[in-house]
Chains A and B, each alone.
Chain A
Amino acid sequence: MKNGKAIGWLVVLAACGFVRAVAAAEADAATAEEAINNVRAAVRFLHDKGSSGFAEFNNKDGKWVWKDSYVFVFDCRRNKMLAHPLRPDLVGQPIMQITDNSGKFIFRELCKVGTEPRGGWVEYMWQKPGAGKLSRKLSYALAADISFTTGIEVGAGIYDEKLSVPELGKVLEKMSDPAKLPAL
């Protein structure tokens, strides 16, 4: 009987630990809203600072890296990664030929949706920071507005197994229309 009680408590403790671990993992996961907000802030920053602001996005300890996500900047017209905080090997390199394991041309898709007035989302596989394997990633891209240049876009993504691009489109719509924002 005593053993049964002890096992019961152990199960409860293990369950609590599991719930806490899941909650912690969720707390460490960037949200769609954060990705949109940070991309918009980055676009605003580049509008104000111009092309001399690109270097800020290469800093892995800077403000453009948060939780398990980060902002990256790419040039769709000149086919080049301009800034990436976690993959310095990609900076300055061509991007249009990059595919995920399903053969999707990631940056061609990002460049396409980024030119839409509110930007857009693309789903692909990418290595999550700290994880040794590929994860499902959904990235939000938006065109940057910088003096004497065109075709530059900013992106940031979330790692999620369930969310779909249409669902994220609704989040974007909600965040773009003041009438759809929840009242304080």
Chain B
Amino acid sequence: MMAEQKLGNPAVVGLAGFGLTTMVLQFHNVGWMGMGPVIWLGLIFGGLAQMIAGLQEMKTGNNFGYCAFTAYGCFWISLALLLIGNHYDLYTSSKTDVGWFLVAWTLFTAVLWIGSLRIHGALALTFTLLLIGFVLLDLAHFGYPDLTVVAGYELMATAAMAWYIMAHIIYADVFGRDILPVGKPWIS
């Protein structure tokens, strides 16, 4: 009888794509770079790779990861296509339209945020920062454009937290022990 084959954790790819694409959008939001890399990474890493990772979560029985990674993968693909659509005058989305798109994602994130509080401290912090970031971007789209920069720095912290959890999983594997603690759930 063959030994049971070890499986990877799809979350490492999901968190990597989520974190990196979130990070580069913030590099744009704070004014360090243009929108080009955000669109292509949004399609491939934050989008396709994160969505596939999300779909792979199904077999692990992790409903939170299944929903979150698949959904945020779709977020990035739809945001990138929305911006490409604007360039080609295909169902052009105004700033107000993008604002409502973000409001919907804020509401969705609020639902997952409650779930994250029951998982572990690092994930609860990631989702708290993500939710605040979405609210800041909503406000930036509805009357407070200067908050784009505040949201930019705040969401960089969100992206860094996603990478922290990714590193927690990878390092636990390669070092054979947990060297990056993720803390207790905020709600037990």
Q: Which residues of A contact B (CB under 8 A)?
A: 47-53, 77-78, 143, 145-151
Contact = CB atoms under 8 A, between A and B. Distances in A.
B5 interface: no
Contact of B95 (A77, A146, A151): A146
B86 A50 contact: yes
Given A50-B83, A51-B35, A52-B86, A148 B25 contact: yes
A77 B146 CA distance: 11
Interface in B114-144: 140-141
A78 B86 CA distance: 23
In this complex, the member of B28, B87, B94, B149 whose beta carbon has the largest number of chain A beta carbons within 10 angstroms is: B94
A48 B85 CA distance: 12
A183 B28 CA distance: 46
Contact of B148 (A51, A78, A148): A148
Given A148-B29, A151-B31, A48 B83 contact: no
Interface in B19-59: 25, 28-29, 31, 35
Given A52-B83, A52-B86, A150 B95 contact: no
Contacts of B92: 48-49
Given A48-B94, A49-B86, A148-B148, A78 B31 contact: yes
Nearest to B28: A148
A88 B14 CA distance: 42
Interface in B143-180: 145-146, 148-149
B60 interface: no
B86 A150 contact: no
Nearest to A55: B87
Residue among A50, A145, A148, A151 with most chain B CB within 10 A: A148
Given A52-B86, A148-B98, A150-B148, 7 more contacts: A47-B96, A48-B92, A48-B95, A49-B94, A148-B28, A148-B29, A148-B35
A122 B92 CA distance: 33
A148 B95 CA distance: 9
Contacts of B149: 77, 150
B63 interface: no
A73 to B, nearest CB: 14
B93 interface: yes
B94 A77 contact: no
A114 to B, nearest CB: 13
A51 to B, nearest CB: 6
A150 B143 CA distance: 12
Contacts of A143: 145
B148 A145 contact: no
Given A148-B25, A149-B148, A52 B31 contact: no
A102 B86 CA distance: 42
A52 B87 contact: yes
A115 B92 CA distance: 26
A145 B95 contact: yes
B24 to A, nearest CB: 12
A116 to B, nearest CB: 14
Contacts of A52: 83, 86-87
- List the 5 closest pairs (A to B, CB-CB), nearest first: A52-B87, A48-B94, A147-B98, A150-B145, A150-B148
A54 to B, nearest CB: 10
A50 B97 CA distance: 11
Nearest to B146: A150
Contacts of B25: 148
